[in-house]
Amino acid sequence: MREPGNMSDGSRKYALITGAYNEENFLERTIQSVVSQTVLPVRWIIVDDSSTDHTPEIVARYARQYNFIELLQLRDPHPRDFTAHVVAINAGYESVKNTEFDFIGNLDADIAFEPDYFHRLLRKFEEYPQLGLAGGFLYEEQNGELKARRGNSVRSVPNAVQLFRRGCYEAIGGYLPLKYGAPDWCAEVRVRMKGWGVYAFPDLKVIHLRPTGSADGRLRNMYRNGLVAFSLGSHPIFELLKSLRRIPQKPFGLASLAMLAGLASGYLRREKRQVSEEFIRSLRDEQRKRMWAFLLGRSQDFAELEPPAPCDRFYKVPELTEHGIKAEDDSL
């Protein structure tokens, strides 16, 4: 059996944490993706958040086969809201923090990837010492075809596959439990505030297994996105420009209105933000740079940001083909 964390040119040990609630439909494929990795994690804590389906039984069965998999069950009552996942991840980290590892990853229970995913991702960290947070691009099945998820950006690592350098993760204090969610966005800003790089690599494909929701569900989600933007102090002009970009997307115009309604709701209710003034200044400074880059023609897409310093040569707008994203550079 392969040794956890073993690489032919040196050891880069990583640990994973997965928060799972009623994930019996997808979890097994995620587990199979991890146990098939050419570089295995030293520990993988799967936190069952009081599931009512067969999630804990699935984890327990694989834990008997693989000694790096551990089931942690949360029994203490807590709200089933947008903070629940962070509660699970933080509980997992408490369980794993005394283990020796170099990287710590948040891994959702409804994704899959190729057997060399973590091997290649760890190589990215080796190549770029200032890289603090990284991951791949999400793909989803659309009309029977696997396509790159709308909104993929090299600047933002999907919450489903965020892998941190341990020193970076501990420097930011881990994830924050936020009222409206988006702990991944919050973490990315805090990582950059600490001087680390954040990068999502288009050549690392991650399959999101859960089907996309209905139009009504998307509108509710966009309204929440507006509340998230307010709660993190996002620049209102930046959010307006984002909403204008979404007008051509189905359901046409309604998603943009729903997001702006959520943003306006936060201002009208004068809700207290859950982040510091320093955080808001840093986020808005980033966003002003993005807007200027777009207006001056230095960015082909408003969704894209200038890359973090250690990854300059990887920054290109991905080319979309009928087969998905064409990797611009796969030299690592």
**Entry pTM:** 0.84
Q: Which residue has the tokens 């494909």?
A: 205
In order, the DSSP letters of 219-281 are: HHHHHHHHHHHHHTT--HHHHHHHHHHTTTSTTTTHHHHHHHHHHHHHHHHTPPPSS-HHHHH
- pLDDT attached to residue 212: 63
Task: Verify that 133 and 43 share a domain, yes or no.
Answer: yes
Q: How confident is the model at residue 215 (pLDDT cuts 50, 70, 90)?
A: low
3 — pLDDT class (breaks 50, 70, 90): low
Q: Are residues 112 and 171 in the same domain?
A: yes
For 311-331, write each residue's pLDDT tens digit: 333 333 233 233 333 333 332
Q: What share of the chain in percent tops pLDDT 70?
A: 84
* 203 and 222, same domain (yes or no): no
Tell me, yes or no, whether 145 and 291 share the same domain: no
The rounded distance, in Å, linking the Cα atoms of 282 and 142 is 36
Q: Is residue 54 part of a domain?
A: yes
| Same domain assignment for residues 96 and 222 | no
8 Å CB contact between 173 and 191 = no
Instruction: Report if residue 317 sits inside a domain.
Output: no
Domain count, the chain: 2
Average pLDDT, rounded, for the chain: 85
Q: Are both 103 and 201 inside the same structural domain?
A: yes
Inside any domain, residue 318:
no
Domain of residue 232: give its range: 215-307
How many angstroms separate the CA atoms of 123 and 7, rounded? 10
Q: Looking at residue 318, what is its pLDDT?
A: 32
